[in-house]
Structures are given as C-alpha cells and as structure tokens.
Amino acid sequence: MNIIYIIVFSLMAIGSILSIIRFVKGPRSADRAVALDNLSIMITSAMVLLALIFERYIYIDVALIYAVLGFIGIIVIARYIEGAL
C-alpha cells in the first residue's frame, strides 16, 4: 500500500511543479489564474491523502474548508480579470 502513496505523491509533485512553472511563465493572467486553481486542488488533495495516511480525519475538514476558500478566491480573481479586460 505504501508504494501507491509514493506514486500518488510523485504524480502530485510533478503536477505541482508544472503548475508553478505555468504560474511564473504564463503569458496571460488567465493562465496564471488557472495554474493557481490547479495548485489549490493539488494542495487540497494532498491534505486529504495525508489525512488518510495518518488516520487523522479532522484534516479532511480542514481540506474541505481550504477547498471552499480556494474556490471563492478563484471566483474573485476571475471576476477581477473579467473586469480588467
């Protein structure tokens, strides 16, 4: 079972690195917003996976709150970009 966790964390790390690259190099602000949303999803999924590994299910509640706040933040950024264009 541990090898599955290692594979999942490795794939999430690769995805996070690619999202950070897109966030830094993105030619438009919409690309940066999408990369930030992707990073938020990766962090949320990492929190859920860590909660399952450590069997501390209170962290799932923290991940849910983080996901809701991340969603609201992305909506605010999208509204700002829409008004700025």
And the tokens for 69? Answer: 């706040």
How far apart are alpha carbons 15 and 37 in whole angstroms?
Answer: 12
Mean of the pLDDT values across residues 11-25? 95
Q: Where does the pLDDT of residue 2 fall: very low under 50, low under 70, confident under 90, or very high at 90 and above?
A: confident
Please tell me the pTM assigned to this model: 0.84
And the tokens for 42? Answer: 């990766």
